Chain A
Amino acid sequence: MVIEKFDSNQPHPNRDTLQGYLDQILDPKNSQLVEEHLGSCSSCQEQIDSLEKLYLRLDTLVEISLNKNFSQGVMEMIQDQKQVSRGITWTLVIEAITAGIILGVILPAPKLSIWIPRLVNTQLEIQIGLNIFLAQLFSQWMLWWAQLKFSFTQFTEPFQIPLDSSTILPTAWIWILLAAGLGLLINGLLLRINFSPGNEN
């Protein structure tokens, strides 16, 4: 660390130099100059004395007793967290598979959509089904986003760590879900176009 060098041209060492002297981080030559100055300057010596006294007093601070055992509470919180995390993983797996099916089957659906009404019979049922599914997907996505946002804040704050693979992976899955949701939306629009009264054969 760079602390301005004290020399005999200055009337007094600055506060960083005095503090550095007390914390014993000055180089030996600088430290000796400060020491010589202190021998002839009562004002600086007073400052040093006051700080030294403070150091000694801080050393005497007695810690307060702890009447609570935290280990059980912490262990319970960790167990809860593990259960939630397991639940999250399974939900993510199921949603990812669903997303894959949606992306692979329904998204390229302009032609497939011609088949769907014959299976389900009415256009209205398809629209209702799609809307429910989209709403569920969207609410899931929002929930996930909120949970991730919470965990990012909670886990990265004290360390300022960058995102790692454990946080990027779920984020990627959320994007897959979002893509799937958009796919559904597009599909829904295409269905609407295909089955608007003018287009229906």
Chain B
Amino acid sequence: MAVSGDQALVKKVLSGDLDAYGELVQIYQSSVFNVCYRVLGNRRDAEDLTQEAFLRAYNNLVSYDPGRPFGPWMRTLAANLCYNKLNRRELTQVDLEDERDLPEKDAIQNPEKALVISQENHKLYQALWNLPHQYRIAVELYHFQELSYQEMAQTLNLPLNTVRSHLYRGRQKLAALLEE
């Protein structure tokens, strides 16, 4: 969806058209869910957080700058929610091995719909989820959301040096985990 299309939808939402927000949710639900899934590491929490993120975004739509694309704003909001959740340690207790095998289970249970997750992909997810959450969120924001160091610091409300250090350590640990 083009940025101008997003802006038009946001404008409609702000003037009271709730269906327009439904369209925005449909456009971005998958990418927002994947942010939550990468950061939280289990589907149930990722789904809850995705829903919560869209609700909060609706309530704070007035603070959204229409000059910027909606998608990155939405995904950053979701990432920040996940980060706060991890800080509060409010994750659902799940059988981690079961949950973390989920992409492969999807492929078995819903072969038409689910993506076939390669071994390489699976290993990447496992490595990401094994990072301490501060490092994981730094990797998420830099590599997947393409935020600058300054934007990351602002989003996470952390000093710039801390963010830089988290990113560096996260990358080092991730590289080490992938080489194992």
Contact = CB atoms under 8 A, between A and B. Distances in A.
A155 B30 CA distance: 23
Contacts of A61: 38, 121, 124-125
A68 B175 contact: no
B164 A54 contact: no
A51 B176 CA distance: 10
Interface stretch (A75-83, A116-124, A136-144, A169-177): A75-83
Contact of A55 (B59, B115, B143): B143
Contacts of A64: 34, 37, 102-103, 106, 114-115, 117
A133 to B, nearest CB: 34
Interface string A46-58: 0000110111011
Contact of A78 (B29, B58, B149): B58
Nearest to A72: B22
A128 interface: no
B90 interface: no
A63 B60 contact: no
A42 interface: no
A50 B175 contact: yes
Tell me whether chain B's interface is mostly helix, strand or loop, or mixed.
helix
A157 B21 CA distance: 21
B26 interface: yes
A160 B118 contact: no
Given A19-B168, A71-B29, A155 B56 contact: yes
B34 A75 contact: no
A51 B160 CA distance: 21
B91 interface: no
Contacts of B160: 1
A118 B18 CA distance: 57
A21 B151 CA distance: 19
* Residue from A1, A16, A60, A154 whose CB has the most chain B CB atoms within 10 Å: A1
A55 B144 CA distance: 10
Closest 9 pairs between A and B when the two form their complex, measured CB to CB = A71-B25, A63-B34, A74-B54, A71-B22, A70-B29, A66-B30, A54-B175, A58-B143, A50-B175
Given A62-B117, A74-B54, 12 more contacts: A54-B171, A57-B120, A60-B121, A66-B34, A69-B26, A70-B25, A70-B33, A70-B54, A71-B25, A74-B25, A75-B21, A158-B77
